[in-house]
Amino acid sequence: MQKSIQKYAALFVLPALICFVIAFLVPMIMGVVLSFFRFTTVLDGKFVGWENYRRIFINQEFTNALWFNVRFTVVSMITINVGAFVLASLLTMGLRGTNVFRTVFFMPNLIGGIVLGWIWNLIINGFLLSRGVTVVSDPKYGFWGLVVLMNWQNIGYMMVIYIAGLQNIPSELIEAARIDGAGRATMLKSVTLPSIAPSITICTFLTLTGGFRLFDQNLALTAGDPGKQTEMLALNIFNTFYGRSGFEGVGQAKAVLFTILVALIALTQLAFSRKQEVEA
Amino acid sequence: MNTDHRRQQELWQRILVVVLALLAILFIAPILIVLMNSFKSKFFISSEPFKFPNPDTFTGRENYIEGARKIGFFKAFGYSLFITVFSIIGISLATSMLGWYVTRVKNTFTTVVYYLLVFSMIVPFQMVMFTMSKTANMLHLDNPIGILVLYVGFGAGLGTFMFSGFIKTIPLSLEEAAMIDGATAPQTFFRIVYPMLKSTAITVAILNAMWVWNDYLLPYLTIGIEYRTIPVAIQYLRGGYGAVDMGAMMAMLVLAMVPIIVFYLVMQQHIIKGVVAGAVKG
């Protein structure tokens, strides 16, 4: 059977593969190579070794973006997951209106990042109006603005994953714990949380990688203002590439470091999930 | 004692429902505030964003007309719709075929392709955006049809991964029987395998539709100057310098959200299921 399928390899493989090679594979290889070149278009490169990587750290821009990004990601990861878990617990209690609530809480997740950014630009500026400032007056407004925006967008998303996890807990397990006289706290610690460990892993890493990759929302809400102080990694890389000529190589080198960071997080998740599967 | 307990529980449940209802209102409020402001004159939006329009500030449809003219909203809607629909058709077809092939034919080539595709899912877009947009430019893919190639390429990872994951669970016997009866590989795939992939295809289509419809950077970098999709058109309102026309902005945000919300309310069950399946497997 394998042989008769192989006769049609071109038909089955080529459409997706050609697109993949053009859109991803060639640009990926070019990107890694060009991070060691000075260039303005992709064809005029001059080899400069590690120079681009060294130039990343000439000023504080990149490290500032990294630090802002880390703080943002950790804070929003915690708030989103706690919020989503609480909502998921409430929506699995069989309360009236559960379906309507689920529909409402999930909805912001479908709205695109640019639109989200502008919605919250209006709302946050509205709240800051009484102080006579705007969201770009102080980096702390941008920071908390982005945290609120991320929560609004992602709580519903993580909530449905937690709901799926909670609904998969066998009722015998809960019944048995109750007969053994487990109180609310024990139930949560010894039954609920261990049973939904896979959901926790998924949501933690989705919010982690989502936080680091964030671009559209950052661009639309603050565009990095004031003075690049609310610029996160993805936006900083974009501005390095397109902000002024002569820094394309530095942008590409930043992108390589960024990719390594995101890949490390993804691999950690994989290791975590594997471990859970072995334990389960 | 027992009825007391039950009454207390009922009371608690009622309180929780009220709390949830308040939260739900809080969740919808930003959208309603944008809707409300879209009918106000642009001079009053920033100064009194939480006030209802009154005879002095109400402008009717003006923001909608002005905004749609400024950014060419209906053209943008057309481009967004065209690109989204044909991208998901392309991705579903191309990746289901590749997913079947890499699952049924096991050799070094298919293994390498599979792992490259999985790898592409974790690479952030910034890594390839510059080189990809230059490549697209050189290959003349910088138009609404050419960009489909790019979307199929970037969507190939998730699509192949999900189809292949499902195909692994289908027993081989049906396909074997068909091929023994003389069916060729394409006949077997399209008549026997493809119809079984329906639920995975819906999941893949929904995940990709949400991504392509809302995507900003890829269309901005490749076709953004000549063909603006909705997100690109909205960000375009910010312009280079000077104040943003908040009136036009509010109206365009509303127009951008309406199709998504309608789509969501119609397809809700599929969307939530698809997103959960995508998150768990992806």
Q: A110-151: per-residue pLDDT in tens?
A: 999 999 999 999 999 999 988 888 888 899 999 999 999 999
pLDDT tier for residue B7 given thresholds of 50, 70 and 90: confident
Q: Would you say B189 and B102 are in contact if contact means Cβ atoms under 8 Å apart?
A: no
- Copy the structure tokens of residue B266: 């119609």
Residues A245 and A173 in one domain: yes
Is B197 part of the contact surface with chain A (CB cutoff 8 Å)?
no
DSSP notation for A85-143: HHHHHHTTS--TTHHHHHHHHHGGGGS-HHHHHHHHHHHHHHHHGGGT--TTSSHHHHH
Residues A19 and A135 in one domain: no
Scan residues 143-162 of B and list those with Cβ closer than 8 Å to A: 149-154, 156-157, 159-160
Which range of residues forms the domain containing residue A221? 60-279
Condensed to tens digits (0 to 9), the pLDDT of residues B186-198 reads: 999 999 999 999 9
Kindly determine whether residue A5 and residue B31, on different chains, have CB atoms separated by under 8 Å: no
Distance from CA of B27 to the nearest CA of A (A): 7
Total number of domains in chain A = 2
Confidence check: pLDDT of A265 > 70: yes
Look over chain B and give the mean of its residue pLDDT values, rounded to a whole number.
Answer: 91
Confidence check: pLDDT of A279 > 70: no
Residues A112 and A241 in one domain: yes
Residues A99 and A13 in one domain: no
Measured between beta carbons, which residues in chain B are less than 8 angstroms from residue A115?
Answer: 214, 231, 234, 253, 256-257
Confidence check: pLDDT of B282 > 60: no
Measured between beta carbons, which residues in chain A are less than 8 angstroms from residue B135?
Answer: 22, 26-27, 30, 42
| pLDDT value at residue B281 | 65
Kindly determine whether residue B213 and residue A12, on different chains, have CB atoms separated by under 8 Å: no
| pLDDT value at residue A3 | 83
Q: Which of B238, B257, B275 sits opposite A111 (nearest CB)?
A: B257
Q: Which of A17, A103, A213 sits opposite B124 (nearest CB)?
A: A213
Kindly determine whether residue B129 and residue A101, on different chains, have CB atoms separated by under 8 Å: no
Residue in chain A nearest B35 by alpha carbon: A119
Residues A65 and A34 in one domain: no
Residues A187 and A161 in one domain: yes
- Copy the structure tokens of residue A177: 């714990």
Write down which residue in A34, A51, A68 finishes a domain.
A51
Residue B184 CA from chain centroid, whole number: 35
Residue in chain B nearest A43 by alpha carbon: B134
Q: What is the mean pLDDT of the segment spanning B123-136?
A: 94
Distance from CA of B105 to the nearest CA of A (A): 5
Residues 6+ apart with CB under 8 A from B88: B204, B205, B208, B209, B212
pLDDT tier for residue B2 given thresholds of 50, 70 and 90: low
Is B253 part of the contact surface with chain A (CB cutoff 8 Å)?
yes
Residues A19 and A82 in one domain: no
Residues A13 and A67 in one domain: no
Residues A20 and A134 in one domain: no
CATH number reported for the structural domain that contains residue A75 in this entry: 1.10.3720.10
Q: What is the mean pLDDT of the segment spanning B146-157?
A: 96
Q: What is the mean pLDDT of the segment spanning B167-189?
A: 90
Write down which residue in A32, A51, A70 finishes a domain.
A51
Q: What is the mean pLDDT of the segment spanning B32-54?
A: 88
Look over chain A and give the mean of its residue pLDDT values, rounded to a whole number.
Answer: 90
Residues A42 and A65 in one domain: no
| pLDDT value at residue A192 | 87
pLDDT tier for residue B1 given thresholds of 50, 70 and 90: low
Tally C-beta pairs within 8 A across A and B: 276
Residues A23 and A82 in one domain: no
Q: What is the mean pLDDT of the segment spanning A266-276?
A: 81
Instruction: Please give the ipTM for the structure prediction.
Output: 0.90
Q: Would you say B47 and A134 are in contact if contact means Cβ atoms under 8 Å apart?
A: no
Distance from CA of B217 to the nearest CA of A (A): 8
Residues A162 and A32 in one domain: no
Specify the amino acid at residue A215: F
Q: Which helix (H) or strand (E) holds A37?
A: strand A37-38
Distance from CA of B24 to the nearest CA of A (A): 6
Most confident of A35-49, B35-49, B251-265: B251-265
pLDDT tier for residue B240 given thresholds of 50, 70 and 90: low
Kindly determine whether residue B131 and residue A93, on different chains, have CB atoms separated by under 8 Å: no
| pLDDT value at residue A280 | 55
Kindly determine whether residue B94 and residue A19, on different chains, have CB atoms separated by under 8 Å: yes
| pLDDT value at residue A88 | 95
